[in-house]
Amino acid sequence: MMRQRGILLLPVALTLAVIGTLAYAMTREGSMNVSAVDAQYDIEVARYLAASGLQVAKWRASLDDCDDDEANFGTLKLPGGSVKVSSVALKKGILTVGLTATTDRNGAVVSLSQAMQLIDLDNPKAATIMGPGDADTTIVRNGTGNLANADTLTATEGTAHPLIVFKLPPDLDRGSVIQADLKLTKKSGNASQPGRLLAVHRITREWGKNATWTTPWTNPGGDYVETPAASVVIDPGNGAYNGVYPLRIDTLAQGWANSPPTNYGVLLKPTAMSNVPFISFDGANKPELTVRYYKRCT
């Protein structure tokens, strides 16, 4: 009887043994996974420290008339570890920094070397830009061409789109825009159409004074980014306002600064608007773009 009970208990014992072995293996594997995650976490901290160190070096050099000596800060203590600069070089405004980051927690080490364009943060500049007469036009859907060389830019929903291009100062190429203000002056008209909106869109294709509703575009009416860079309500009060309408286009201007060849200007897209004239580069009170910026180091 006792032997029979032992035989019956053997599968149970074997099952318990297997379960115990699996549990031990899973616990050990879990412990190993925790250790691996912990080590990976420490490496990620070191990477963030190194990236922060590069930005500190760039910022220090930019604040002191593009001086690479300021970027060579030696060892910098940061939350979670330290960063040590090993090499610094500056050539034609490009700062190259090599450094090593070490974490306090487990001593993970990450080394980085990166070349960065410096911005002269000591000398903010400003420019007001107005274009020549052939730098703007109105393309008309039902017309035979455009309204180039007119003293107004006419906006009508789905029928007339004004186009304007501003050429940025050369030293803003790869510089940093602080603020960019576009000013348009409405010439005449009334406020009988409620909810009228004028949106500014970035044009994505080169065009010239001979542009029409269909040429040189892929899409009739112009090739532009659908999401507007800015917009303004026309005649927002109880009557017509024939004056200056300001629009803030910092991000748009920064994109042009980052890549000057892609500056094809802006398209003015009206909503609920019919034959509203804005003064062009051929008239008085021309469109203007005022930019405050930091030039790149050279």
Give tens-digit pLDDT for 12-42: 444 445 445 545 555 555 555 767 777 888 8
Q: Which amino acid is at 291?
A: V
pLDDT on residue 195: 72
**Residue holding tokens 């203000």?**
181
Domain boundaries, the chain: 2-117, 124-296
Predicted TM-score (pTM) of the model is: 0.76
Higher pLDDT, 169 or 2: 169
User: Can you give the length of the chain in residues?
Assistant: 298
The rounded percent of the chain whose pLDDT value lies above 90 is 67
Contact status, residue 291 vs residue 254, Cβ threshold 8 Å: no
For 119-166, what is each residue's pLDDT tens digit?
999 999 999 999 887 799 999 998 655 565 678 999 999 999 999 999
Higher pLDDT, 290 or 15: 290
**Edge-to-edge strands of the sheet including 176-185?**
119-129, 288-296, 176-185, 244-248
Q: How confident is the model at residue 67 (pLDDT cuts 50, 70, 90)?
A: confident
| Token pair for 284 | 């008085």
Least confident of 26-30, 147-151, 212-216, 267-271: 26-30
Average confidence (pLDDT) over 172-182: 95
CA distance 283 to 228: 26
pLDDT on residue 143: 66
Average confidence (pLDDT) over 268-272: 95
Examine the pLDDT at 291 and tell me if it is beyond 90: yes
